Structure formats: structure tokens, C-alpha cells
Amino acid sequence: MSVYYHKFEVRWNDLDANRHLANSSYVQYCAQTRMAFMTKHKMGLRELNRWGIGPVILHEKYSFFKEIYMGQEVFVSLEIDGFAEDGSIYQFLHKFYLPDGTHCATAEAFGVWIDMMLRKSTTPPDDIVEVMNQFKTADTKIFTREDIKALPFRAENIDPKVFEEKKWTKINLRP
């Protein structure tokens, strides 16, 4: 079991109106950590293109414990805490730490690998499964297709006429 860490310096454009790390920045930091991890372990864009597959996040959730501010260094960890036996489903676990070890936030990202031509889920090459197995947590869950069906939200299409019938008003936020 290994843990991967990626370092960030919080920049001005990473902040929100409360002058701490914005929710959208947490999402971006996790995505960048995953791509840096994949590139370092020979599963970057070049390899993904050659294999014709890509990772797709289906569900993400976050818990926040301590604010992170501009100019601070942040380390984002990556571990695999869920995996299908064939590797087709995965869950990344990310934790946000300050250099002194303070744990600021945790995120889980649940996803699947897709065939880029067919746009359907697929099993990744053994190279990916081997690397991801190295980064499993001590209590990695085993996922099946039933776990995808159990995600908390389902698609609910609506009649597009609802958009035509509404009288849209522009809200002026300036006094």
C-alpha cells in the first residue's frame, strides 16, 4: 500500500469570496492530482490515447475540516479505496494536508473507465490495474455494477417546453 502526494501553492484565482480555497478549486486540485499520478505511473494522456480509454468520474463528495488560504502549500494525497475485481470501477480517496500535517479536507471520487470510441464502460489494461493495486488502502472496497446503480442520484429528464414557457427575468445584482 502506497500513498501518492501532489503539492500545490494556493493562488489568488483558487479563492472564493470568503478568501479561502473555493469549492471548485478542491475539485480541480483532485483532478490534477489524479492526472499527475497517472502520468507519473505511465497512464497519462499518451498512454490513454494509445489504449483508447479514459477515466470518467460519476460521483464526487467532500468533507471540509479546516480552511486553506492563499499562499499556503497544500499536499493532496491519492489512494484507491474502492476497485472492481476487473478494474473497471474505481474510487479515489483524496486528503488535503498542510505541510505541518493538518488534515483540511477529504474527497472521494467514484468512476469507471470508458472505451473512447464506443463511449461505454470497459476494463482497463493490466498495466493500469497493477498500478492501482499498489495504491489500495487497507480497507479497499470491492465494487460491482450494483454500486453504480446505487449512486445517490438518477437522471430525470424533463420536457424542454418548460424552458420556452417560462418568463425569464434578468436579475440585476448591482445597486
pLDDT tens-digit map of 70-89: 999 999 999 999 999 999 99
Domain 3-163: assigned CATH number: 3.10.129.10
To the nearest 10°, the Cα dihedral for 133, 134, 139, 141?
A: -20
Pick the residue with more confidence: 166 or 102? 102
Closest to 79 measured CA to CA, from 15, 132, 152, 6: 132
How does the average pLDDT of the chain come out, rounded? 94
Which pLDDT score, from 0 to 100, does residue 147 have?
A: 97
pLDDT tens-digit map of 55-67: 999 999 999 999 9
Which pLDDT score, from 0 to 100, does residue 159 have?
A: 87
Give the domain ranges of the chain.
Answer: 3-163
Q: What nine digits make up the cell of 133?
A: 493495486
pLDDT tens-digit map of 31-45: 999 999 999 999 999
Q: How far apart are CA 136 and CA 111, in angstroms?
A: 15
Listing DSSP states for 118-173 in one string gives TTEE-PPPHHHHHHHHHTEEEEEEEE-HHHHHTSS-------THHHHHS-------
Distant-in-sequence, close-in-space partners of 153: CB < 8 Å, separation ≥ 6: 59
